Amino acid sequence: MTNRIKSAHHVSGFESIFKCPICDSSMSVYELQSLVCANNHTYDFSKQGYINMLSHSIKTKYGNDLFEARRKLIAEGHFFEPLSSAIAQIIKEQKNPAFILDTGCGEGSHLSSICDTVSADLGNPITGVGIDISKEGILAAAKNYTNKVWLVADLAKMPFQDEQFDIILNILSPSNYAEFKRLLKDDGLVIKVVPQTDYLKELREVVYDEPEKQAYSNADTVDLFKENFQMISTSRIRYTIDLDKPFIHALVRMTPLTWATPEEKLKDFLDKDSAEITVDLEVLIGKKVN
């Protein structure tokens, strides 16, 4: 069975969660080929199994190289494993967390790891849906993780009916809180992950000369989250991880921190045989305000 057919079969089991991004009407899977709305707007399953639901193509700075590096670091280097474990634990404590949406999912490693852990530990199937505006990211996700739903879509107008998701993940990614509130079930949770002060400090010290840029503040981001959701809890996850040369190169390719940095400035860092890197994150958990 091809990835296209597998994905169409999978999506046909819960096609009622979708709505057309053009006309807002309901959608259904047609002949295991396309997702089609009541007004005949049609979105084909790609051969890799994802669906592109953008009305027009959008260029992003996030290309194949970045997503390959990110997957290497996450899936092979276990760079964010303590974070994934912590999020999985939060989700396992919820009542029947059947539908999880990852907004800005990139190449899908976070969502896949979290869903698989929760599903195995609870003994229940979990439906993981990942969306990203980058076609390259979603293409990589669909190639590597075939038992999830992967969509190229816009966070400003997500192609889902209201109140469909038990959990909305937003990991080191832009947010759209109006859409999050629309899509979240009344008893659902939004889990947002933001950098804390020491996040990638060893790399920041190479990239930035100004001391104020070498540390990171997320105070404005946290305040905005509190304005939109009732804060249930917040926790800090901080650890160091030792990376060898291939993973150091993957880290540099993965992070937008280095995009505007001249190659010669990064040379000494890239030449290291190993480097200890600090991961410092804050996990915000919120629910809808009644």
* 96-135 pLDDT, tens digit each: 899 999 999 999 999 999 999 999 999 988 999 999 999 9
d(CA 64, CA 50): 16
Structural domain including 44 reads 1-49
Based on the domain organization, do 94 and 30 belong to the same domain?
no
For 49-88, letters b (16+ CB in 10 Å) and e give bbbbbbeeeeeeebeeebbbbbbbbbbebebbeebbebbb
Based on the domain organization, do 207 and 162 belong to the same domain?
yes
Q: What are phi and psi of 147, to 5 degrees?
A: -100, 25
Give residue 273's identity as a one-letter amino acid code: D
Taking phi over 0 as left and psi of -120 to 50 as alpha, with beta for the rest, 104 belongs to left
Based on the domain organization, do 123 and 251 belong to the same domain?
yes
Based on the domain organization, do 18 and 64 belong to the same domain?
no
Residues 213-251 have pLDDT tens digits of 777 788 899 999 999 999 999 999 999 999 999 999 999
Q: Which pairs count as long-range contacts for 86-92, CB under 8 Å and 24+ apart, including other chains?
A: 86/235, 86/237, 86/283, 87/114, 87/169, 87/191, 87/193, 87/283, 88/113, 88/114, 88/117, 88/118, 88/121, 90/189, 90/191, 90/283, 90/285, 91/118, 91/167, 91/189, 91/191, 92/118, 92/121, 92/122
Question: Structural domain tally of the chain?
Answer: 2
What pLDDT shows up at residue 66? 86
Based on the domain organization, do 109 and 35 belong to the same domain?
no
Based on the domain organization, do 124 and 239 belong to the same domain?
yes
d(CA 156, CA 178): 8
Based on the domain organization, do 242 and 262 belong to the same domain?
yes
Residue 173 has pLDDT above 90, yes or no: yes
Residues 256-284 have pLDDT tens digits of 888 888 888 999 999 999 999 999 999 99
Query: What pTM was estimated for this model as a whole?
Result: 0.95
d(CA 122, CA 269): 42
Based on the domain organization, do 172 and 244 belong to the same domain?
yes
Q: What are phi and psi of 211, to 5 degrees?
A: -55, -35
What pLDDT shows up at residue 210? 80
Nearest to residue 62, comparing CAs of 125, 126, 120, 138? 138
Tokens of 285: 């958990």
Torsion (CA) 31, 32, 35, 38 in degrees, nearest 10 = 20
Nearest to residue 173, comparing CAs of 256, 241, 252? 256
Residue with tokens 């080929």: 33
38: Cβ contacts below 8 Å, ≥ 6 apart: 20, 23, 25, 26, 27
Which DSSP string corresponds to 75-109? IIT-TTHHHHHHHHHHHHTSS---EEEEET-TTSH
What pLDDT shows up at residue 55? 81
Based on the domain organization, do 41 and 153 belong to the same domain?
no
CB distance 283 to 225 below 8 Å = no
What pLDDT shows up at residue 64? 80
d(CA 25, CA 40): 10
Based on the domain organization, do 177 and 92 belong to the same domain?
yes
Residue 58 has pLDDT above 80, yes or no: no
Based on the domain organization, do 5 and 63 belong to the same domain?
no
What pLDDT shows up at residue 257? 84
Residues 71-97 have pLDDT tens digits of 999 999 999 999 999 999 999 999 889
What pLDDT shows up at residue 96? 87
Decide which of 34, 49, 64 is a domain's last residue: 49
Quickly count: other Cβ atoms within 10 Å of residue 188's Cβ.
22
Based on the domain organization, do 115 and 8 belong to the same domain?
no
Residue 7 has pLDDT above 80, yes or no: yes
Residue 210 belongs to domain with CATH number: 3.40.50.150
Mean pLDDT, the chain, integer: 93
% of the chain with per-residue pLDDT over 90: 84
